[in-house]
Every structure is written in structure tokens, then in C-alpha cells.
Homo-oligomer: A and B are copies of this chain.
């Protein structure tokens, strides 16, 4: 699906020629209600952060070929279809800085079915969009969780759009929710699986972590047994393996406000370790606010690692535990009563020393966040401290964007780009 905005967030980037940045590109969808012969295009005004380029200056890439406005006007077999993009290339030596920019465009189309005096129609559009810098070499690997696009997936984004967004920002890993993103779960159509692998190849993406659930309170009258829990985990391990994932996060039902997992967790995992080893998938329980690192729940997982000596059970850290400011944007399904926010949205502010201490056991990090402003300032999560801690330790796992802020359409897509721009700037600063 195309983005609703005429100016697409995906595709906004600097252009490199022979090792030098010569300009930038903006991707547009056709603002009219019909496709048009390209000869009827009459230029595009572009203004970025107040700097202006006249309508005859930008180059147009349509249906795989790049034209000047002059050559576009003379074409006889080029079209701008409603379901196709136009890529607008604007010359600007050095390009645009990493971060958020204000873009304004006016697309000019001639419409011969309007009276000649008014047939040159102006279609103005504006947007904020983010230039994401390249990934610094070595160290942290960059992924995105489909969770970031909750509400967008299946309403304005297909799985292919998710992958295209991830690849466009130069990230290389994709994290999914098994029970969210696999049509026909737990028995997807083999054609869906084939297409999944074909798309991974097309967008050069690596499957990273697969989110699963073990719903211990699945029925009203009794809890899930250890047998049933193990069957669920093993079903998801096999499915994750079929799809190429290297870790799985089983979310067990909990029994307390401190998120103590249901007591079957240990038996369920222990019975599944042989399969995890066979499939080479790491089982990762999630350390999630309000549970900090220095806590019996986390310690229980570390004890399990030490007791079993398994290389296929490690920790997954959700960066919500490092939050230093509260989030009051609301959360689906959570009612805030008497102004009292739920514990997991309170700032837990786990110290970096705790992260450093536990990092050898950490396989995967969900880069939970809620809002990054136009100056690439995160309102809640201390990315500079986190990135420095990871880099100082030489940690080389996946950092997977998990946007959890307001679910306005397209907001997650733009916020994830901002997070990648921010984290990469910090990597470069401390690298």
C-alpha cells in the first residue's frame, strides 16, 4: 500500500554519486484521482526547511527511468500510475542532515479536460520526514519489530510494506509476533511461507526474534498444564524455525503485579531445550517493566541459565525498564483510574550498571520507546546511556525498534525512522 500522504516517509534519503553526496530524494504518490501520461507533468516545486528549488529543477524517476522536466514533457510512453511512485531528485551538494525535515512540494499537472486557462493544476503537499544515516560499522545490529506498526498492519501496511520500510532505513533485521503477523496461525499456508522467504531475500532482511505466548489462563476453569505449555512452546519453536528466526520470546502468563511467571515456566522451558538446541533457536524470557534487572524474577532466569548450562536460554531486555519519565499517552486495553497510571508505565529507571552486569546473558534487546521529537530527543528513554553501555561492553546483538506510543496512523513508521537516526548518531558519537 502507498502511504496516504502524497509525500511518502519511505524513500526520503540522500543520493550518493561516485562517493559524494550530490542531493536528496523524495518519493511521491500521484496526487490526482487518475493516472497520467508523464508528458502532462509540469514540474514540482520543492522546499525543505525553507530552502527552495524551482519546479523545473528536480529530476523525475518514473517507471524505472530518470528524466529532466524537459525530457519528461516529450515522452510518449511513460506514465505516472496511481499505484506507482515518482522519485524526485533534488540537487544539493552534501545533501540533508540526518534527522527530521519539513518538506513542502507542489506538483504541477496539466489536465486537458479543464479549461486551458486553468488546466495547469497545482497539488500542494507537506510532511515531516526523517533522513536516516547509514549504520556505523560493527557492533550493534539494527532491527525493527512489527509491533511498532500495530494498527497499521492489515489496515494500511502489508508485511511487504513492513519489510520495505525496514530495508529503506538500512536496518537488516525483522522481529515479528507469531500470533499477530502469521495469517492462519498456527498453520500458515505453505505459499505464505514461501512468499515470506522470497520477501526476506528481496529486502535483504534477517529474521531475528519471534514473539510467542503461553497463555496459562487460556481457559476459565483451569490453568494450562506443563504438558500443554511445552506443546505450545514447541509448536512456536518449529514455526519460528521454518521462518528462519534465531530466537523466540515466550510470554508466559503471570501471577503477580511484579510479573512473576506462572510456575510452569521452568518445566516448559526445560523440556524444550533439546528442541531449541536442535533448531538452534535461543529461548528468551523478556525483562519488562515493572520488573527490573535486580529482581527475583530476573535472578530466577539467570539461575536457570547457570543450572542448565544451556546456550539456548538467554535474556531479552525491553528498554522500557530504563525509562526516566512517565508516559501518559494511554495504552490500548489499559484503563487509568483516578489518574493512577499502571506500574509498567511508571519510570523504572534501571541503572546502566545493572545492564552492564547482566549483558553477557542478554541475547536480544527490544528498543521500546514512546516518542522522539523533531530534534531527535527521546522524551522517556535515555538512549545515549544505553548506546554507550552497549558499545563499552562490545555487545553485538540485535537492537530491535519497538514503538509503543500513540497509535495514530503512520506515526509508528515515522517514529521508528527517528529512533534509527538517533541511535546511529549516538553510535557514531561514542564509537
Q: Judge whether A141 is part of the interface by a CB distance below 8 angstroms.
A: no
- Among B81, B83, B115, point to the contact of A257 (Cβ < 8 A): B115
Q: How far is the CB of A202 from chain B (nearest CB, A)?
A: 19
Chain B residues with CB below 8 A from A369, complex form: none
A333-B112 in contact (CB<8A)? no
What is the bound-complex CA distance between A154 and B82, given in angstroms? 8
Q: Judge whether A3 is part of the interface by a CB distance below 8 angstroms.
A: yes
- Among B40, B115, B155, B217, point to the contact of A259 (Cβ < 8 A): B115
B33-A216 in contact (CB<8A)? no
A4-B109 in contact (CB<8A)? no
A180-B333 in contact (CB<8A)? no
B113-A183 in contact (CB<8A)? no
Given contact pairs A33-B332, A81-B185, A180-B33, A217 touches B119 in the complex (Cβ within 8 A): yes
Chain B residues with CB below 8 A from A218, complex form: 37, 39-40, 112
Q: Judge whether A73 is part of the interface by a CB distance below 8 angstroms.
A: yes
Chain B residues with CB below 8 A from A79, complex form: 179, 185
Chain B residues with CB below 8 A from A334, complex form: 118, 121
A335-B179 in contact (CB<8A)? no
Chain B residues with CB below 8 A from A35, complex form: 179-180, 185
- Among B114, B151, B256, B332, point to the contact of A4 (Cβ < 8 A): B151
- Among B153, B255, B333, point to the contact of A121 (Cβ < 8 A): B333
- Among B118, B180, B335, point to the contact of A122 (Cβ < 8 A): B335
Tell me the count of chain A residues lying within 8 A, CB to CB, of chain B.
71
A112-B217 in contact (CB<8A)? yes
Q: How far is the CB of A67 from chain B (nearest CB, A)?
A: 14
What is the bound-complex CA distance between A153 and B39, given in angstroms? 24
Q: Judge whether A253 is part of the interface by a CB distance below 8 angstroms.
A: yes
A155-B1 in contact (CB<8A)? yes
A113-B253 in contact (CB<8A)? yes
B1-A156 in contact (CB<8A)? yes
Q: Judge whether A117 is part of the interface by a CB distance below 8 angstroms.
A: yes
The residue among A2, A215, A216, A259 with the most chain B CB atoms within 10 A of its own CB is A215
Q: Which residue of B lies closest to A257 (CB)?
A: B115
Q: Which residue of B lies closest to A343 (CB)?
A: B115
Chain B residues with CB below 8 A from A109, complex form: 333
B2-A34 in contact (CB<8A)? no
What is the bound-complex CA distance between A247 and B115, given in angstroms? 25
Q: How far is the CB of A349 from chain B (nearest CB, A)?
A: 21
Given contact pairs A34-B179, A113-B251, A177-B34, A155 touches B154 in the complex (Cβ within 8 A): no
What is the bound-complex CA distance between A324 and B336, given in angstroms? 49
A155-B3 in contact (CB<8A)? yes
Q: Judge whether A139 is part of the interface by a CB distance below 8 angstroms.
A: no
Q: Judge whether A19 is part of the interface by a CB distance below 8 angstroms.
A: no
Q: Judge whether A98 is part of the interface by a CB distance below 8 angstroms.
A: no
- 19 more contacts with CB within 8 A, not counting A31-B333, A118-B342, are A4-B151, A32-B333, A33-B147, A34-B177, A73-B220, A79-B185, A83-B183, A112-B254, A113-B215, A113-B251, A113-B252, A114-B254, A115-B254, A116-B255, A118-B334, A119-B217, A121-B332, A122-B333, A123-B332
25 contacts between A and B (CB under 8 A): A1-B155, A2-B154, A3-B155, A4-B151, A4-B409, A29-B154, A34-B177, A34-B180, A34-B211, A35-B185, A37-B215, A39-B220, A40-B217, A74-B219, A81-B179, A109-B333, A112-B217, A112-B262, A113-B213, A113-B252, A115-B254, A115-B255, A115-B257, A116-B255, A117-B257
Of all A-B residue pairs in the complex, the 8 with the closest CB atoms, nearest first, are A112-B253, A121-B333, A112-B217, A33-B150, A34-B180, A35-B179, A115-B257, A4-B155
